[in-house]
Structure 1
Amino acid sequence: MVPSQAAMAAEEEGFTIGGALRYNIYSKSWENNPDATQFTWDTWRLNVDGTKGGIDLSFEYRFYPDSDAHFIHHGYFGYQLDEDLYGKLGVFQKPFGITTYASHSWWFQTPYYVGLEDDYDMGVGLDYTPTEDLELQLAYFRQAEPNGSLNGDNDIASRYSYDVVATDDADLKELNTINARVAYQLTPCWEVGASAQVGQLYNSELDDSETAYAFAGHLEGNMGNWNIKTEFVNYDYNAKDNDGNKLTAVPMGAYGSTYHVAAEANMYVAGVAYSVPVEFGPVTNLQFYVDYTYTQKLEAGMNDTQQLVPGVLVTAGPVYTYVDVAMGKNHPWIGGDWDTGLTEGAEDDWETRFNVNFGYYF
């Protein structure tokens, strides 16, 4: 989750090439076999950022050797239309909620796992900053980001961020999504904002679309070494299956795998972090944090999902290490309920994944 060190050259023409190499060590509480604890090659990625002739370029492509998957993260052209207005074209982050992340940990918060945090799609966008205190963003996304490759084959679920995808029972895809976001600096340290997202979930078998929407309100602040993130999200992935029945759960895919999520939910997000400057060899900062999300599913009979991640980010030059104790209840990535965790769930106990992610960013 640490951004590339290859920053875009805003005033001088030229390009910088960067990337990252990351490894994971993890242990899962819900497995009792040799695979429960592993040391894996998480990611390597390539970044290109720069400007030529007044037109900016930002591009990132990712490879996940452990799953033999690779796909675009983002890739767009940008142009400063005037002093206050900036335009984008390509694959870029949807302006929704707290950007770039509503989280501090390597795990994101639960909105990421339903396509509402750090989500990237293909479209055009405008960023308008009429004053230092106010930012307005408007974007139109024709469709989700391009499919990547999984085990050498094109795969609809091989992508970085979660999107609604097609299954045998529901031949769905996202189309014509409009995002709007406003953020205002109450003080130099506190930002308040609101976001809206409206789009189509098109069923090619029915040749018909339903309207899906999401709304968010957020507050983020910095007080000395403290950072606080809070967010409320309401969404309704209104969609029908191939027989014309309204879905109570929709299929979503990323990283080469698909699961279902509740079609309607409220999400309550909170995170707090405290940074401690240190001088210990190459280590210059320790950021301690706790992130939490409560997902209230609005379909009767579904058990709610919770995610709690205490941890610390260790900064040592270009190396960023996340040490997380990720705890989840009815969570596909933290427990054994892969396809049901974010839908009906169960009255299960909490599960835990201890995870250490080492990343060298250049």
Structure 2
Amino acid sequence: MMSTLCHAQYPADKPEEKPTLKIGGAVRFNYNLSTWKEDQLERGGDFGYDVFRINVESEYRGIKLNAEFRHYSQAFGGAFLKQGWFQHDFSETSQLQVGLNQVPFGIQQYNSNNWFFNMTYYIGFEDDHDMGIKYIHDTGRWQWQAAYYKSAEEFVFGLAEPSPNRYSYDITGRNKENNQLDFKVVRRLGDSLEHELGASLQGGLLYNLDTERNGTRYAGAVHYEYQAAHSPWNVKLQAMLYRINPEYAAGADLDFVEMGAYGANYNVATEGEVYTASLAYHLPISSRLLQGITFYDNYGYYNKRVGDFENSHMNVLGALFTAGPMYIYTDAAFGYNQPWIGPEWTNALALGTPGDTDWHLRFNVNMGYYF
């Protein structure tokens, strides 16, 4: 009887499905020269290790795995999982992802063309990855995504403060993100679907470790992107707003929250708007060594809607050189109240440095070999 059942479920003439496994990764090094660091100017900049990463994609019996593990230096957070999810495709147009996956908000995968991302990344709204479940339905002209996230990258459980050793920026310190809902809809236009219009909504809770109460947070965005296979141009435009209402203890009400990634925290205003614009042009090159150069300019403006907080700007002008398996980003990054591009770290994205703020420049070259 058992033999008959097994034969009925797995016919002899049907080949057994075999698992697939794809392994890749990258090794990257970085050179930078920052105008506000006098000692670095004396040395002519610094050149060193950036990251080693491993990517794994697998599929067996309708279940897929997508994971990426990164190892930075200890000063930048050390080793951690950047993404990792299980996936099932219901059809060619519908799929479900469970695990540490990209939050469906704004322009994806990146709201930028450069190595530094755009302003949206530094407050948790670009290439953000959280722990939850996401459904994607994409017919070509229409796409919608709906997701529920139980938490951000949860590497420390319980009542402990969230660790800043992570890839994407999340709220940390004495607050923990939880129970987040996201919905995004995209409409593509044009004969080759080169024009994309999109709208995103996000809402969630924020648990305070001191008061043991949940605050709230929400965000919304609209965007436009132009990307055509027959055109060398790429245009990204996005406008977004957000509001965070933490439940601080009485007398400790603050107009900022801590956010963390790459091993360190800084403060971010609890309310604001971000406007970004990016333009890129790809120049193909037919040579043995160099296959193309992409020129770009990415600008972000952060309007903090809090009291006397100074606003922030960043603009990255640069080029991406594609040489076989190597991708080389050469960026001139200008920052105004931007923690990664200026001397003020802790409060650049909150109070700023009123009366003493200036534009700063970081020249950066990131070279990576991808395999």
* Counterpart secondary structure, 1:331: coil
- Opposite residue 176 of structure 2, the aligned amino acid is K
Partner Cα separation in structure 2 for residue 17 and residue 244 of structure 1: 52
2:26 corresponds in structure 1 to: 20
Is 1:267 equivalent to 2:270 in the alignment?
Answer: no
Is 1:354 equivalent to 2:354 in the alignment?
Answer: no
1:218 corresponds in structure 2 to: 223
Q: Is the 1:29–1:36 contact (alpha carbons within 8 Å) kept by the matching residues of 2?
A: no
Q: Report which of the two has the higher share of strand.
A: 1
Residue 178 of structure 1, aligned match among 172, 177, 181: 181
Mapping 1:233-244, distance limit 5 Å: 233-243=240-250
Larger Rg: 2
Q: Which structure 2 segments of 5+ residues have no match?
A: 1-16
2:56 corresponds in structure 1 to: 48
Q: Is the 1:74–1:92 contact (alpha carbons within 8 Å) kept by the matching residues of 2?
A: yes
* Counterpart secondary structure, 1:111: helix
Partner Cα separation in structure 1 for residue 320 and residue 186 of structure 2: 27
Normalising by the residue count of structure 1, what TM-score does the alignment of the two structures yield? 0.91
Query: What is the CA distance between 1:241 and its match in structure 2?
Result: 2.4
Mapping 1:1-362, distance limit 5 Å: 13-34=19-40, 37-65=45-73, 67=75, 69-129=78-138, 131-147=139-155, 156-166=163-173, 171-187=174-190, 188-222=193-227, 224-243=231-250, 245-346=252-353, 347=355, 348-362=357-371
Query: What is the CA distance between 1:243 and its match in structure 2?
Result: 3.5
Query: What is the CA distance between 1:286 and its match in structure 2?
Result: 0.3
* Counterpart secondary structure, 1:20: strand
Q: Deviations over 1:216-266 (max 9, x none)?
A: 100000351100000001011221323364431110010110000111111
Deviates more, 1:287-296 or 1:245-254: 245-254
Judged with a 3 Å threshold, the aligned counterparts in structure 2 of structure 1 residues 300 and 36 are, in CA distance, closer, same or farther, namely farther
Deviates more, 1:21-30 or 1:245-254: 245-254
Q: Which structure 1 segments of 5+ residues have no match?
A: 1-10, 149-153
Q: Across the two proteins, how many residue pairs are aligned to each other?
A: 342
Partner Cα separation in structure 1 for residue 262 and residue 205 of structure 2: 23
Query: What is the CA distance between 1:186 and its match in structure 2?
Result: 1.8
- Opposite residue 52 of structure 1, the aligned amino acid is Y
Q: Is the 1:75–1:90 contact (alpha carbons within 8 Å) kept by the matching residues of 2?
A: yes
Query: What is the CA distance between 1:300 and its match in structure 2?
Result: 1.6
- Opposite residue 182 of structure 2, the aligned amino acid is N
- Opposite residue 271 of structure 1, the aligned amino acid is S
* Counterpart secondary structure, 1:283: coil
Query: What is the CA distance between 1:76 and its match in structure 2?
Result: 0.5
Partner Cα separation in structure 2 for residue 207 and residue 340 of structure 1: 26
- Opposite residue 249 of structure 2, the aligned amino acid is N
* Counterpart secondary structure, 1:334: coil
Query: What is the CA distance between 1:118 and its match in structure 2?
Result: 0.4
Q: Is the 1:238–1:247 contact (alpha carbons within 8 Å) kept by the matching residues of 2?
A: no
Partner Cα separation in structure 2 for residue 85 and residue 281 of structure 1: 40
Partner Cα separation in structure 2 for residue 36 and residue 117 of structure 1: 32
* Counterpart secondary structure, 2:257: strand
- Opposite residue 275 of structure 1, the aligned amino acid is H
Partner Cα separation in structure 2 for residue 247 and residue 48 of structure 1: 42
Q: CA RMSD in A?
A: 1.7
- Opposite residue 180 of structure 2, the aligned amino acid is T
- Opposite residue 21 of structure 1, the aligned amino acid is V
Q: Is the 1:206–1:244 contact (alpha carbons within 8 Å) kept by the matching residues of 2?
A: no
Partner Cα separation in structure 1 for residue 212 and residue 318 of structure 2: 47
Partner Cα separation in structure 2 for residue 23 and residue 14 of structure 1: 31
* Aligned-residue identity in percent: 38
Q: Is the 1:238–1:246 contact (alpha carbons within 8 Å) kept by the matching residues of 2?
A: no
Partner Cα separation in structure 2 for residue 210 and residue 142 of structure 1: 15
Q: Is the 1:147–1:157 contact (alpha carbons within 8 Å) kept by the matching residues of 2?
A: no
Partner Cα separation in structure 2 for residue 108 and residue 36 of structure 1: 25
- Opposite residue 163 of structure 1, the aligned amino acid is D
Judged with a 3 Å threshold, the aligned counterparts in structure 2 of structure 1 residues 222 and 82 are, in CA distance, closer, same or farther, namely closer
Q: Deviations over 1:128-176 (max 9, x none)?
A: 12x320000001000011338xxxxx9711000000012xxxx210000
Deviates more, 1:24-33 or 1:62-71: 62-71
Partner Cα separation in structure 2 for residue 28 and residue 147 of structure 1: 32
